[in-house]
Structure 1
Amino acid sequence: MHLVARLAHRLGKFSVRLFLLYLAGLILTVAIILGTVSVQYRRAYVRMASQYGEGVLTRLGSDIDGYLQNLVSTSNLVLYYPSLLRYVKTSFPSPYEEQRLLNMSNLPELDGFISQLSNLSGDVQGVYLFCENGRMLYYASEIPGEPLVELLEDRAYQRADWYAQALDAGGKSVVIRQADGFPKREQGFFIAKLIRDISSGRAIGGLLIEVNATQLGRLCSAYASAGQEEYFAILDEAGMLRYCDGGRPLAKLLENGEAEAAGVGDNVFHCGGREYFASWYQTPGYGWKTIRLVPMSIAVQAQKNAVLITLAVALGSVLVSFLAFLLISRRLAKPIGELQEGMRQVEQGDFSVRLNAAVQDEIHALFLSFNRMAAQLERLVQEVYVEEMQKREAQLFALQQQINPHFLYNTLDSIQLMAVMQKDFKVSRMITMLANMFRYTISNHFEQVMLKDELEYIESYVALQQIRYENAFALQVDVPDTMLPLTILKLSVQPVVENCIYHGLRDQTGGRITIEARQLENGFLISVSDNGCGMDKETQKLLRDSMESPGEKGSLGLGNVQNRLKTAYGAQSGLLIESAPGKGTRVTLRFVKGDG
């Protein structure tokens, strides 16, 4: 417990607080530097990887277009071998009348065509030529399975999807992902082509070339960086995966289009718990998309190294600056301590204390200000004493002012009783109304009153004025009963009625004062209108200007009402004055909540 108290005492010292503030600033600065280095290094890595990847993928894309074009050219060779077309058109060429499956390798007249296919032996798994005469010519290491043979029945191959795509291509070779009769594959592709009779143009068969992803892998490997972990993926123009050396999870992510949802928008996305940077390129020829994937762990490790180096430099700088801080804080804390001691003596009543600074700096100016303060303090204490006495006198005066209304009210009760005894009921009624007004006025315990009470007070006030002016005007109150319980500021409507009498109707006969009220969603309006002389625009401007300076605090004029409404309800509340010469005046009081 004693140790905690000592620590709290030391932390209260100026030098310790200054040190803690300085230390917090250093930590914040180092954190900002480390964060900036980390972010900028990552951005630089992504930028360089993007530039390098773009160059690699551009060259790879060109090779892929050339490779595909070579395969398409191979598929077109069928049209240039009449001996091959003879097997397609002739129903049962001798001596193979009974054979539905013919291996092209066993046909001597097809040696030239076979030699062309041999150049692609590492890529082409099989060549299958479906003939309208019910025969299949093939070039493959294995005899076609039953699913392929079934496509010969009733020319079922013509109803296959690959045949329909070849037919839609109008004789051009098309690249497809899957073909009927073949097992589903994750990589590789097929080239499909419609075979037509050269003389008649009639479709006489269909060609399928089954291609694996071996050559695509070789093309990608040729551009792989030695000793660096990176992956390549190839998608066709429809976004279907043709090759990927990054494993099944990555291939599935790319093929299903989930990479975009995983964050590929900024070329960085997650897969299998790892983060990858992706470079994209679309080949101009066939529209295939080549993708180069580099794990961001490479950048993260380099990023960590850069952060560690920056941290070491920052810590060294912090140590040097800390030593410099100790020297500076000693010179700064000593005069602060002298000033603290001087203030303690002044607090004890010693106004003769003076401080001297050895150096002409800000501390010296502070000491001079302290000396002037000490010299003037006694005079200020005397002034405060006088002000306190004046304040007490003012409070006594305010108490007397509060007592006077009570005295007047009691006196009026006595006079009213005497008037009744003298049977002067008119005077008695006037005194009763006046007493009610005094009772309402001196009951100042609450600033808010019910609208009903304010209206009763106004009716008493107007009744007295009607006696004075011999019924020169009348009062009409048009307020819904549902609004009578609403609370308003005390004596907020009466000053407006008083202004109507003294400034609008005093010199006229047949005057009328109308009080109306209307409910709003966020408050209510009370309008006081008269049919008096009205005001021109210049007079209205003078009145509005005077309302912005309500004068003394005790005043009950329009300016005072305006100020009280805005203070109690908000800036949108207050008085709205509408008037015209000879057409009377309308003053609307806005009681609106929730706008201030």
Structure 2
Amino acid sequence: MPLDIPMYPISSRASVNILEAALKNSGKRKIDMKSPIHLLKDLTFRKKIMLCFLLVSIIPVAILGLFCYQQTKALLVSQEEANLQSSLQQAADSLDNQIQIYNNLSDYLAFDSDLNESANRIYTNYMELYDAYSKTISPLFLSMKNLHDDVERITLYSGTNMEKHGNMVIPLQDAEGEIWYEPSIQSSKINWFVPAEDIVCAVRRMPEPDSGGTAKNLLYIEIDSQKLFSSFLELSKNSCGIYLVDSNGSAVYSEIFAGLDVSEVPPLETLLDSDSSSITWNSSDYTVIQANIPSCGWDVYLYKPIHLITDAATPIVLTVAFIIMLCLILVVLIGWLLSHAVVSRIEKLQKTMQQVEGGDMGVTITSESHDEVGDLIRSFQKMLDKINALINEVYTGKLAQKEAEMRALQAQINPHFLYNSLSLINWRAIRADAPDISEMAQLLSTFYRTTLNKGKQLTSVADELKNTRSYIDIQRIMHSGQFEAIYQIEEGLGEYLMLNLLLQPLVENAIVHGLDQRPDGGGILRITAAHKKDTIVFMVEDNGVGIDPQALPNLLTQDSGGYGIKNVHERIQLYYGKEFGLTLESKLSVGTRATLTIPARRKNFESQLNQ
């Protein structure tokens, strides 16, 4: 049965406060709704279900499509690189074969005995020159040119007294300004050069009869570069660029494919500096293939923009986009049907909650389904029943609260009653001329005042030492002065803060378990306090009977039946940290020393002391 809840009137001031709070919360909500997170939270549950369906469907499809695109792209690049490598290697092998043919031609001419004899001979008349030209040099050079269509000219640069004979024989001094002169005159091998755009030449030093002499003749063979590099020209038609590089890293030939702007051509230095099969130039990626030509020591580099390779994957991207659109349409339809089936019961629960929010605590809602929504509806009804039951318990709770407040007030009154009683005893003892009773009353008053510390956890070092002194003086009176107390307190420590009631338990243990157990008198209790770096170190020493070595390690970890040194050690470590606390040293029949270490803190002394 629903409970009849009494309605109490609300004061006008309370109404204003409630209205102001509602306006503030409304303003905050409007501000928070601007963020995407709050926009998502404020969506209806139906829209959230549809959004989840969209995300769950789109994300896998998009990831799969992206994966397929990347794999296809990588496969296309890999296949194209393999094809380019094969084509470039074929072109390089073709050029290497041609260069090897010309190297063989150069060897054949350089080691021809008749040509060597004519080249190294010193002529005494023009008849001898004529015979050399007509019978040896001209027939030999012309026959070689006829056999090799690519050869433009063959020239002997003579270091003897041979006269110039067309372009077949030229004095050696005429070649001294050419770029190929110095490298060729200093080397016995065949050297290849590209002195001009359309000229490729192979130059070598002619062998001499006397191997120890200085070279005097150079054999020069010039080849048509267009015919020699024709295989690379075919490669460039496949949207590729070509660099042919000599052993010094200089380009001897280059070819740019049609459609590529000059500003988009990567410089040779970029290709040479890269160790990978791809480079980036002007925000464009290029794949790079390299092959070598061992016959002349040249390297050939082929580069091609990667986007030209991956453009073939565009149909795949369009197909994936089309599939994603179809999935979106299907997911929206399924999401709408499913959200309608799920959200209707949640909307019913929402209306019931709004009625409860409006103050109608007697509403009821039921559900026969056993899914999560059904459990939620039944849980809400149980919660509503408990709320109605708890309303009746409010007055009982308020009575208990008042009773606790009364006990707290009594706890504040009792210490004042104790202080007043001790003060009365002190006054009566003074009037009765009983100084020992007066002293005891004063000591007890000081001890309990510093022990209770007005209920505060922190106290000053000065008050802690005052508490310890009063306790020791009381014990000395009770023991009829059977032990002495020695204080060694460093000046200036009184203003530092420390936890209350740390030293008194140590002193009590020293007296009860140390000095009281001596068979004779003469007990000495020493209290030391010193400032060491950022800490304050207290030591309580006695010359009592000492502690059993087997029991000593367990004193800081086992309970002693009262407020003992284990409690002091735990309080210090809980408040200050594990690096602070107590250490114990003892020797049987000699005595015991308890060392207490805490951090030196006096910043904001007054504010901390008043907390």
Q: Structure 1 stretch 327-336 or stretch 14-23: which is displaced more?
A: 14-23
Give 1:148's match in structure 2, choosing from 161, 175, 189: 175
Determine if contact 2:184/2:205 at 8 Å carries over to the other structure: no
Select 2:230's aligned residue among 175, 196, 218: 218
Q: Given that residues 534 and 585 in structure 1 are in contact (C-alpha distance below 8 angstroms), is that contact kept between their aligned partners in structure 2?
A: no
The answer to whether structure 1 residue 112 and structure 2 residue 132 are counterparts is no
RMSD: 4.9
Shift of 1:321: 0.7
Residue 249 to residue 423, structure 1, CA distance change in 2 (3 Å): farther
Q: 1:151 to 1:242 in 2, by over 3 A?
A: closer
Deviation at 1:460, TM superposition (A): 4.6
Aligned with 1:544 (options 550, 557, 564): 557
Contact 1:230 1:294 in 2 (8 A): yes
The answer to whether the Cα contact below 8 Å between 1:128 and 1:138 also exists between their aligned partners in 2 is no
2:84 alignment partner in structure 1: 53
- The CA deviation at 1:128 is 6.0
AA matched with 2:592:
G
- Contact 2:80-2:309 at 8 Å conserved across structures: no
Pairing 1:109-508 to 2, within 5 Å after superposition: 109-117=137-145, 122=150, 129-133=156-160, 148-149=175-176, 160-164=182-186, 166=187, 171-175=188-192, 191-198=202-209, 200=211, 202-205=213-216, 206-207=218-219, 214-215=226-227, 217-223=229-235, 228-236=238-246, 239-246=249-256, 253-255=267-269, 259-260=273-274, 265=276, 267-282=277-292, 288-346=298-356, 353-382=363-392, 386-387=396-397, 389-413=399-423, 415-416=425-426, 431-432=441-442, 434-443=444-453, 451=461, 454-455=464-465, 457-469=467-479, 470=481, 472=483, 474=485, 476-477=487-488, 487-491=497-501, 495-496=505-506, 498-503=508-513, 506-508=516-518
Aligned equivalents of 1:137, 1:454: Cα separation in 2: 121
Question: Structure 1 unaligned runs (5+)?
Answer: none
3-state DSSP class of the match of 1:229? coil
**Closer, same or farther in 2 for the Cα pair 1:297/1:351, shift >3 Å?**
same
Q: Do the aligned residues in 2 keep the contact of 1:195 with 1:204 (CA within 8 Å)?
A: yes
Summarize the Cα distance change of 1:391–1:149 in structure 2 as closer, same or farther, 3 Å threshold: same
Q: Hey, what's the Cα distance between the residues in 2 that align with 1:337 and 1:16? A: 13
Structure 1 residue matching 2:244: 3-state secondary structure: strand
Provide the C-alpha distance between the structure 2 equivalents of 1:499 and 1:138, rounded to a whole number of angstroms: 127
SS at match of 1:584: strand
Aligned to 1:43: 74
Distance in 2 between the 1:136 and 1:488 partners? 115
Change (3 A) 1:321 1:22: closer
Alignment partner, residue 518 of structure 1: 532
Query: What does residue 581 of structure 2 align with?
Result: 575
Asked if 1:70 corresponds to 2:101, the answer is: yes
Taking a change above 3 Å as real, the CA distance of residues 336 and 197 of structure 1, as seen in their structure-2 partners, is same
Q: What is the deviation of 1:416?
A: 4.6
Seen in structure 2, the aligned counterparts of structure 1 residues 93 and 274 have a Cα distance that, compared at 3 Å, is farther
SS in 2 for 1:370: helix
| 1:95 matched to 2:101 | no
Query: SS of the counterpart of 2:267?
Result: helix
Task: Give the secondary-structure state (helix, strand or coil) at the position aligned to 2:517.
Answer: coil
> Can you list the C-alpha shifts for 1:29-80, whole angstroms capped at 9, x where unaligned?
5654454344333333333233333333333343343334333323323432
- SS in structure 1 opposite 2:557? helix
Contact kept in structure 2, 1:81 and 1:113, CA below 8 Å: no
Relative distance call for 1:89 and 1:317 in structure 2 (3 A) is same
**Contact 1:233/1:251 (CA < 8 Å) preserved in 2?**
no
Deviations along 1:353-390, one digit per CA (max 9) or x if unpaired, are 44333544332233333343344444444556545543
TM-score relative to the length of structure 1: 0.73
Q: 2:592 aligns with which of 575, 584, 593?
A: 584
Change (3 A) 1:322 1:252: closer
TM-score (norm 2): 0.71
Contact 1:515 1:529 in 2 (8 A): no
In structure 2, the residue matched to 1:534 is 547
Q: Measure the CA separation in 2 of the matches of 1:490 and 1:127.
A: 112
Any residues of structure 2 matched to 1:8-27 within 5 Å, and which?
11=42, 13-23=44-54
Structure 2 CA distance, aligned partners of 1:187 and 1:472?
A: 119
Match of 1:80 among 88, 111, 116: 111
The question of whether the paired residues in 2 share the 8 Å contact of 1:527 and 1:589 is answered with yes
Corresponding letter in the other structure for 1:312 = F
Q: 1:335 and 1:452, CA in 2 relative to 1: closer, same or farther beyond 3 A?
A: same
Name the CA shift for 1:92/1:309 in 2 (closer, same or farther; >3 Å).
same
Task: Please state how far the C-alpha of 1:338 moved relative to its aligned partner.
Answer: 2.2
Query: How far does residue 229 in structure 1 lie from its aligned partner after superposition?
Result: 1.8
In 2, Cα distance between equivalents of 1:107 and 1:424: 157
Distance 1:476 1:11, change over 3 A: same
* CA distance in structure 2 between the aligned counterparts of 1:18 and 1:83, rounded to whole angstroms: 98
